[in-house]
Amino acid sequence: MSEPTEYVTLVSYDGFEFKIRRSAAIISGAIRRMLDPQSNFAEARTNRCTLETIPGIVLEKVCEYLYYNEKFADSKDVPDMEIPADIAMDLLIASDFLDV
């Protein structure tokens, strides 16, 4: 079993890979559970999560949101994040699945 790393890799169903800080990734409840060292999930051993229902264009925006959330977690008057209308519904579905 490999040790938890500072960075993890999120992989979209169409093969795009995003390396992001673990601290940002675990804002997602689903990713946190996948990466939990106490779990029996392969993701916890490989530090790599393949998200087979999320396309790359949506996962890129999810990663942006995870960093955005981490940055502004304790802030007031947080600026709105830009969300392209053409992927808004896919982002909503992904956020529900990822528990963010």
Summarize the chain as % helix, strand, coil (round to 5).
45, 15, 40
pTM of the model: 0.92
Written as six digits, the tokens of 4 are 């938890």
State the pLDDT confidence band at 75, using cuts at 50, 70 and 90.
confident
Of 82, 89, 25, 81, the residue nearest 55 (C-alpha): 89
Q: Could you tell me the residue ranges of all domains in the chain?
A: 7-98
Which CATH superfamily is 7-98 part of?
A: Potassium Channel Kv1.1; Chain A (3.30.710.10)
Rounded Cα distance, 11 and 78, in Å: 28
What pLDDT sits at residue 4? 83
The Cβ-side half-sphere exposure at 66, using a 13 Å CA radius, reads 28
Q: Is pLDDT of 8 > 90?
A: yes
Contact at 8 Å (CB) between 20 and 60? Answer: no
Q: Is pLDDT of 3 > 80?
A: no
Written as six digits, the tokens of 79 are 């600026």
